[in-house]
Structure 1
Amino acid sequence: MEKRVITVLLVVAGASLGVSFMPYAWTAIGQGGNQWLDNVFTNLLIGAIIFYLLSLFLVKHISTALTYIEKKLSELSLTYLLFGAIGTIIGLLIGVIISLPFYNWDVPFVKGVAPFLIMILLGYLGFQISTTRIEEWKKIFTSSKKRNEQQAEQELLERNADDHFRKYKILDTSVIIDGRVYDIAKTGFLEGTLLIPNFVLYELQYIADSGDSLKRVRGRRGLDILNALQKEEDISVEMYDGDFEEIQEVDSKLLKLAKLLDGTVVTNDYNLNKVAEFQNVPVLN
């Protein structure tokens, strides 16, 4: 099927070239005024036949070349191809704009060849610039909030082992709803800072708005516990505004955040406790 498509495309290209260039050929051999030879149908037919004969020899090589190109492209990342295509398009557009004055010149080379060379050169430069600086382009197109989160994560990951840092106690939904964490925190048993991620707060709000009366009561009690913790001057409470959009489950987000901050997960969830132990994340149950 692929070879047939290539053959058809070559024949169509040959027909188009025949209509465009065969009149010059008839003029060169002195048959320019012959209506039987120098007409659109004849020129189209001759061009199509010539390129059909050429396709008998070229179609196999073209098919092999296309397969090779397809294989090489499949090895490249989607990001690389996307930025490369955008850079090439921008380069070609700039080339078209720059080439416009050259079309008004009567010099054959300048009028016919120079615009083509300029567009090819700028298209290539656009491709090179966009693909060699992908990380820089990503930073430009990333939102400021996301950049701040990534910068904070990078700083935390790059700190030395002997650096002084706060030990976070990351509360999950179950331990907040349970309520006893408030009394334990007041005794000073939980040293460091209690950290409440936004995605846990959203889950509490979802439970508090539930149609199930039992869930609704539990969710509202959890929100009351958080408010009580924040009002205690002796208890350090912070919110974490970041989110891990690529992760759906709240428990998985908690574990990733604990790894990122070297924090300890505080939970009543037995399954979360076991998963955290398996992933070497400290847990207070």
Structure 2
Amino acid sequence: MRARIAVVGLAAAAGAVSAGAAAPLALDSLFGYAKGRIAATAVESGEAGVRHPHPQKQAAGKTTPPTSTHRTEVGGVAMTQSEEHYPLAHSWGGILPFAMLGAMLGAYLGSRVYDGVARLLSHWDKMDSGDRLTSVIGVFAGLVMSFPLISMFTTLPLERAWIPWLVLILTVGCITVSLYMMQSISEFFPWKRGRGPMKRSGVKLLDTNVIIDGRIYDVARNGFVEGRMYVPQFVLEELQHIADHHDPLRRQRGRRGLDVLRHMQADFQLEVGTQDRLAPDIGDSVDSRLVRLARAIGADLVTNDHNLNRVAGLQEVKVLNLNDLALALRPNVLPQETLNLTLIREGNQPGQGIGYLDDGTMVVIENGRSHIGETLDIEVTQVIQTERGKMIFGEILDEESPENGGQRRRPNGPKK
């Protein structure tokens, strides 16, 4: 914070001094230009002689603007030129507004430069040795590229004041183009291939399915997702394509995904499409490009697509699957525990009824078909774990059981 204040303060002081020093010349130039325009307008309208029949005579009691006299010789004849100055050009009344404007402009530019340098240093610290070597080579190649262009343009008949700006623009432009090209082909460099485990950057790369699902917003809002989140431009284009689909259901899903992105961009640090160049479009699928981009920037892939999860895992990309998170957060249910459920529909087998826990887990109740629509106490008899979640089987408590000789069952486990 102190460094930022110091940089902004120095930039503001430099801007104030520069603007204050340039104020007299600027005011004199504006004053001369305005006076010349007024005189030209008066001459064109034929009013110059009427307004000033005796321009050399001044009215009594009136002061004239300060003037400076320049004596020159033209063809051996001495000539005197008089140049008028703006009355406030060399006073605090004229210099102070320019100095204040220069200070504000300098403070703004200093703040922007400080932020840019801070981001550049932060990005440099997160880069591995291969990326740093690629960047250094890119800068050097850009400087080499700029030399012929600078030599060619400096031979043009230009004013000397424009030459430094021309050199700066050409140099920065060549370095930028060179860095972009080097980053685009960096995966083919020997120091980028087979370099071992990928260095993670902490960026969370979101795919289309997890955005449409919408749960990522609630997870991030509750603080379970750390770091910067990134949405590629091609994922956004896929969402727009789904939102414009002729199928009403797909169109609704796409629009919901766009709404989720809008809320996330307003509430979190969400970046869109700034690093897609690291995974250029080569005609492959969106999922393949997502995996390549995650490897290129060291991001964690956030998805709920089971197939994408497996493909990314094979390519050493860390995957955060929201479905796995939801399964991990479901409460454990053990046999002989008691659940209070409402039977909603029939089961696949004769006599079965189906109910659901609050988290969506399906519970199959034996002999529950005749109790559909009722809320009953269910005793858990079996729990089966599958790839998609748990399936729970149970029986109705206080139900007459043939195995007990027609007696009613009693709860054997704690109620939940």
Structure showing greater Rg: 2
Instruction: Quickly name the TM-score band, shorter chain normalised.
Output: 0.3 to 0.5
Give the number of the structure with larger relative contact order, counting CA–CA contacts within 8 Å between residues 6 or more apart.
1
Higher share in helix? 1
Q: Normalising to structure 2: TM-score of the pair?
A: 0.30
Higher share in strand? 2
